[in-house]
Amino acid sequence: MGRFFGRWFTLTIAVGVMTWLLPGMIVQGSNTFFSIASFALFMALINASVKPVVQLLALPLTVITFGLAALILNVMFMQLASWLSITVFNEGIYIAGFWWAVIGSFIMMVVDGIVGSIIHD
């Protein structure tokens, strides 16, 4: 359980940096921190539960497309987390389009890796 909270924390920082850098990531709701944390919560839940199974099933397609399928899956999971956080909490991150999600996915990956390596090691 502690690992999940650590993952949620690093994703919250990564989402905060992503929303700060990208104008296409629009914070919805009255409390900015809660909006970012709720989006990161759903990203952490998806990454812990659904994503490994879907990535395993999509592995042949990912190999054939040289990783493009994995990028599309990440974008779809970001869109799902956005929809869930806005629907459940009425606060979250609205993603303005596909390319904003692609750029946001790269930013989240880099920031999450940096913060994760600092915190966990």
Query: Tens digit of pLDDT per residue, the chain (121 long)?
Result: 778 888 899 999 999 999 999 999 999 999 999 999 999 999 999 999 998 999 899 999 989 998 888 889 999 999 999 999 999 999 999 999 999 999 999 999 899 889 988 887 4
Query: Cα dist. 44→11, 24, 47 in Å?
Result: 7, 21, 5
- Say how many domains are in the chain: 1
Q: What is the pLDDT of residue 121?
A: 47
What number of other Cβ atoms are within 10 A of residue 113's Cβ? 12
Task: For residue 86, give the H/E element and its range.
Answer: helix 68-89
Q: What is the pLDDT of residue 114?
A: 92
Q: What is the pLDDT of residue 67?
A: 85
State which residues form the domain around 11.
Answer: 2-120
Tell me how far apart the alpha carbons of residues 14 and 59 are, in angstroms, rounded to a whole number: 26
